[in-house]
Structure 1
Amino acid sequence: MIKSMDEFTLTINGKQIETKETIGVINPATEEIVGHAPVASKNDLDLAVKAARSAFPKWASRSFEERSELILQFANAISENQKELASLLTLEQGKPLSFAEREINMAVYWLKESANHRLSTEVLEESETTYIEKHYTPLGVVGAIVPWNFPVLLAMFKIPLALLSGNTLIVKPSPYTPLTTLKIGEIASTIFPDGVYNTLSGDDALGPMITGHPGIDKVSFTGSTATGKKIMESAAKNLKRVTLELGGNDAAIILPDVSIDEVIQPIFWGMFLNSGQVCINAKRIFVHHDIYDKFVDKLIEYAKTVRVGNGLEPASQLGPVQNLVQYKKVKNLIKEAKQNGLKFAFEGEAPRSGYFIPVTIVDNPPENARVVTEEAFGPIVPLLKYQSYEEVIERANRSQYGLGGSIWGKDIELAKSIADKLETGTVWINEIGALSPTIPFGGHKQSGYGIEGSVEGLKEYTNTKIIRINKR
């Protein structure tokens, strides 16, 4: 189904389109170019919007069942190409191959489960004099802007809901990780009617062109809070609908009754999964002072067993930071922490070439340190002592972000009472990062706007229409 894993094109109106200009995509483990992605022009975007708008009426008129069936076919086609897609994903993103394979499998799962959602007409009133119905109608053309940390999976948070609800689609991957998404766009062109699913890659100019385009009715974006604010500002010019899944500085709260040996491994991966490049990773670890020293020792003991390396090497468990900009940001954060005299509990080992940063744990830094207040989005995490539950709740909430949080301990009622007071969209108890296509996901404060996943997320791709009948 995929013609070549070495040639990359846009997908516009069901056709593969080459461009004059391309950008080199760098493998962050080797700093070598692994492919050249097309750079879409304003004209390419206009053509994609025109195709999507032309395809919209017929696509919207199809039943949920018809649209769902094509989404399931799409999922199966991706699954048939899982090995090739996962290898390409590792080359451009850097994550270990086993994690890339898991991401492709999760994307397939997300498509299939999301295809089961339905919206039906609701009768709000039925009397002798009045009949009122509520309908959910698709918005039109949706722009899906996808980040570089999980370029395939996070695309599938958006794609099936946009299509299932009757919208047509333009998918834009990050310039750092466009290749796998472009190949998936090729697959989509063999499944969906022309114009329903379009894929455009480009440079930093493409995103603003999409968010400002008058022919696009909604933008769904996953990425930084700073960029999310710019998208909301741009969308306001024509009241374009937006869903924004943005940054997080999630707190993990370790209660004094926790079984340290049992939780060290899941907490470690809750901190450092994907080399810390996960919006819902634990980024501030609050440990009760009674168990702090033992917890630190056990965490370091486990961290020493984890290997950082090239994602194509079978032994690698963590890969590089994905791009040079983020690499320099995290390196600067570590450098400043050292210059300010912060204590480092652990610095692991990592290859010297490529964008590798070792697992780094900071020991009880001050509350105003950048490593505490900012979302590092890399493999560096602070451990922080606390004494009372009131104190730790206040400190956990002392952030502009409110995406997620986790609580670890045996006393579930205590954990739940703390969870009730955390200002976040999701709180996990004795787990972290568990998401589902059937459960709503969104952030509080500056961590986002709107909901992804579940029927609630599906409604975000629709307008509400009321039909009233006067029966008198």
Structure 2
Amino acid sequence: MTYQTDLKLFIDGAWAAGEGRDCHDVINPATAETIAQLPLATKDDLDRALDAAQRAYPDWRGLDVEKRASILHKAASYLKANAKEIGALLTQEQGKPIKEAIGEVYGAAQMFDWYAEEAKRNYGRTLVRPTGQRSIVLHQPVGVVATFTPWNFPIYLLAKKVAAALAAGCTVISKPPEETPGSTGAVAKALDEAGIPKGVFQLVHGVPDMVSRHLIGSDIVRKVSFTGSVPVGKHLMGLAADNLQRLTLELGGHAPVLIFDDVDLEKTLDAVVPQKFRNAGQVCVSPTRFYVQEGIHDAFVKGFAERTKQVQVGNGMEDGTQMGPLANGRRPEAIEALVDDAKSHGAELMAGGTRGDNGFFFQPTLLANVPLEAKIMNDEPFGPVAITRPFKDLDEALHQANRLPYGLAAFAFTENLRRANILGDEIEAGMVGINGFAISGADSPFGGIKDSGFGSEGGKEGLETYQVVKAIHMQ
């Protein structure tokens, strides 16, 4: 499939092309070739987006919930009907295998469908009062929302924010990543085709610092939702302070995986290795720090290395590819530096460890017995690298799992139910997976603690982040 070249902004119900705007090169990470030019929003474009969102808000907020839900369902139907074509765009601009890309499109559609129905369950409550008096609690939309999303799951993460905000009755200005404009533009196309009123949703690309300062600097925006790095999240939090804008921040992690010696080792390895290299490890909840009980550590490393060497790396559009390239040219260099640093501290390279010849490839990599002093033990690699260390007992495992400032996701594998209960209670993370990796769904909250941010997306909690609470007392 040939990549589309007519990339546009979507503001106040209209599509805007180049028209003299500065442009950004869109790169295919499998070939390192430029495949399109993306027009970047000007300050005038952002002002038009702000004005449109503000004008559209009262009518969208007041629209019958059934009509609002119908538009979200229609957007979901568009995404599902065009999943193969949209998935191909995503693979060409982000790199992930086409099967994963198509699955992401369906995941985005699920978000729109689920929040279309959750909008109808936006219940308040009535408080007990004396006869003739009433006290009620309402959930109302917060207002105009600005969302900022990354390139690793550009369609799904955009849909997760936008579907919830629209369902809550907010109007939205979204800035997706410049690396993946074709696939995220398809979300705007889905809403446009679904008949969303003018000004309810805008999609803008641009220089990140300029766009974030301009949107967050406006008192029109009442809520900011960001997924990305810890430093940028802290920066946006500072910008939001001036206007006291509400925040949801999902800032990544460095997920520990605790493997105890009572597991079925082969079954566990078959589960963890594909999960580690999904999306080339560019997943904020990717299992990365493997702490393995000392009696099975060496056998675990051996089995992990064997499976890692069998992962088929290549262009995501080609049949049989299990892992594609990294998303941009900065990532292979960053991963190589972390691997070299770990080796210099005494880590054992068991598989991979090298860059590819073309595109932005890096081989699936396993480092064993990694010292705590190595940078990769403390900084999120966000790439196809797994690292292991042995542990002696439960207390040591919990200490290692909790020692970093991150707290997004964590995983543990054990057949001991009491131990599983303790792990669920004591691991410091917003999400914990026991004997599996299914920790994210439309109906469940997704979010972290500590330096991994605050607030949740998904589930009823995701809807509530775009709402304010009002108590009304009648006597």
Query: Fold conserved (TM > 0.5)?
Result: yes
1:131 counterpart residue number = 134
1:423 counterpart residue number = 428
Q: How much has 1:178 moved relative to structure 2?
A: 2.0
Q: 1:397 aligns with which of 380, 394, 402?
A: 402
Does 1:202 pair with 2:201? no
Task: Give the SS at the match of 2:319.
Answer: coil
| Partner Cα distance (2:45, 2:111) in 1 | 29
2:455 counterpart residue number = 450
Contact 2:72 2:191 in 1 (8 A): no
2:287 counterpart residue number = 282
Task: Give the SS at the match of 1:402.
Answer: coil
Contact 1:82 1:105 in 2 (8 A): yes
Q: How much has 1:325 moved relative to structure 2?
A: 2.1
Task: Give the SS at the match of 2:84.
Answer: helix
2:151 counterpart residue number = 148
Q: How much has 1:433 moved relative to structure 2?
A: 4.1
| Partner Cα distance (1:264, 1:98) in 2 | 22
Q: 2:359 aligns with which of 354, 358, 379?
A: 354
Contact 1:21 1:38 in 2 (8 A): yes
Contact 1:350 1:356 in 2 (8 A): yes
1:367 counterpart residue number = 372
Structure 2 residue identity aligned to 1:196: V
5+ residue gaps, structure 2, are none
Q: How much has 1:337 moved relative to structure 2?
A: 2.3
Contact 1:308 1:349 in 2 (8 A): no
| C-alpha distance 397-358 of structure 1, shift in aligned 2 (>3 A) | same
2:52 counterpart residue number = 51
Contact 2:4 2:36 in 1 (8 A): no
The size of the alignment, in residue pairs, is 467
| Partner Cα distance (2:152, 2:94) in 1 | 7
1:193 counterpart residue number = 197
Normalization by structure 1: what TM-score? 0.96
For 1:235-314, list aligned pairs within 5 A: 235-314=240-319
Structure 1 residue identity aligned to 2:182: L
Task: Give the SS at the match of 2:221.
Answer: coil
- Deviation by residue 1:128-178 (Cα, 9 ceiling, x = unmatched): 253111111111111111110000011111111100110001111112222
| Partner Cα distance (1:220, 1:129) in 2 | 41
Task: Give the SS at the match of 1:115.
Answer: helix
| C-alpha distance 207-314 of structure 1, shift in aligned 2 (>3 A) | farther
For 1:38-187, list aligned pairs within 5 A: 38-117=39-118, 118-128=121-131, 130-187=133-190
| Partner Cα distance (1:350, 1:84) in 2 | 30
Contact 2:173 2:203 in 1 (8 A): yes
Contact 1:37 1:202 in 2 (8 A): no
- Deviation by residue 1:61-84 (Cα, 9 ceiling, x = unmatched): 013222111100011011222121
Q: How much has 1:341 moved relative to structure 2?
A: 3.5
1:16 counterpart residue number = 15
Task: Give the SS at the match of 2:186.
Answer: helix
| C-alpha distance 105-350 of structure 1, shift in aligned 2 (>3 A) | farther
Contact 2:350 2:366 in 1 (8 A): yes
| Partner Cα distance (1:431, 1:328) in 2 | 31
5+ residue gaps, structure 1, are none
| Partner Cα distance (2:186, 2:36) in 1 | 12
Task: Give the SS at the match of 1:362.
Answer: strand
Structure 2 residue identity aligned to 1:68: A
Task: Give the SS at the match of 2:163.
Answer: helix
| Partner Cα distance (1:121, 1:411) in 2 | 41
Question: After alignment, is 62-71 or 385-394 more displaced?
Answer: 62-71
Does 1:219 pair with 2:218? no
TM-align CA RMSD: 1.5
Structure 1 residue identity aligned to 2:8: T
Task: Give the SS at the match of 2:426.
Answer: coil
Q: Percent identity?
A: 34
